[in-house]
Amino acid sequence: VEFLYCDLASMKSIRQFVRQFKAKNCPLHVLVNNAGVMLVPERKTEDGFEEHFGLNYLGHFLLTNLLLDTLKQSGTHSHNARIITVSSATHYVGKLHLNDLQSRCSYSPHGAYAQSKLALVLFTYRLQHLLTANGSHVTANVVDPGVVNTELYKHVFWVVKVVKWMTAWLFFKTPEEGASTTIYAAVSPEVEGAGGCYLYNEERTKSADLAYDEELQRRLWTESCKMVGISDEASRLP
């Protein structure tokens, strides 16, 4: 195990991390996008992005795109490289405000968090479409870990914290249980070659209807490229 520092809330840190990783000339068989914040008060990343959208979504969008060439080189016909992105059931109630992705008009911690998780599902489906169109030996899937007992809930109301403390043993998954579907997506032979799936409890399930909107996927991808400063090569593909 080797540790490389990467702050997903910083575009500069992400680019520096990718340079350090590529300098090692290592293959990349599995990328798990799992960083996140939840229900934080309104604040911005160092790049000026609303924190939920900037860290939960844009950080992973940039990281994945910068590592795509290495992933493509690492995958083979019999063993695809795998991209696993961790979303949340919250995406089912999320709305994507393409004209206000930074939630500047009216900020809601719940709305901003749900939007970032919906964006991750849209991104995964669009990414898989592009990988398939290019004939790449890389798959992209999205995971719903369920309700997991972690520090992610530190910004909820104190009443919710008390209820969580009292009921976590009954209703919440342990971190190990919460990681099981991500591990399944990363290593299970059952999903070899399968991409564009929404996985929950180690099974393929249906995501929000809105997430299957291909025009919305395309528009979000194009806008995301502009925001993180990378070329939208996908614009030349259907």
Query: Which residue in 201, 162, 206, 158 sits closest to 39, CA to CA?
Result: 158
212 is catalytic: no
Out of 92, 113, 125, 198, the active site residue is 113
To the nearest 10°, the Cα dihedral for 152, 68, 176, 193?
Answer: 130
| Mean pLDDT confidence for 188-207 | 94
Instruction: List pLDDT tens digits, range 130-162.
Output: 999 999 999 999 998 865 444 544 444 444 434
- Per-residue tokens: 164: 């969580």
Write down the pLDDT at residue 15.
98
- Can you state the percent helix, strand and coil of the chain, rounding each to 5? 50, 10, 35
Q: Which residues pair with 32 in a beta bridge?
A: 84
- Per-residue tokens: 117: 């998780």
Indicate whether 236 pLDDT > 70: no
Domains and their CATH numbers in the chain: 11-236 (3.40.50.720)
Indicate whether 203 pLDDT > 60: yes
Lowest-pLDDT range of 73-87, 98-112, 186-200: 98-112
205: phi then psi, degrees, rounded to nearest 5: -140, 175
Write down the pLDDT at residue 222.
96
Place of tokens 């870990």: 145
Instruction: List pLDDT tens digits, range 4-43.
Output: 999 999 999 999 999 999 999 999 999 999 988 887 889 9
Indicate whether 169 pLDDT > 50: no
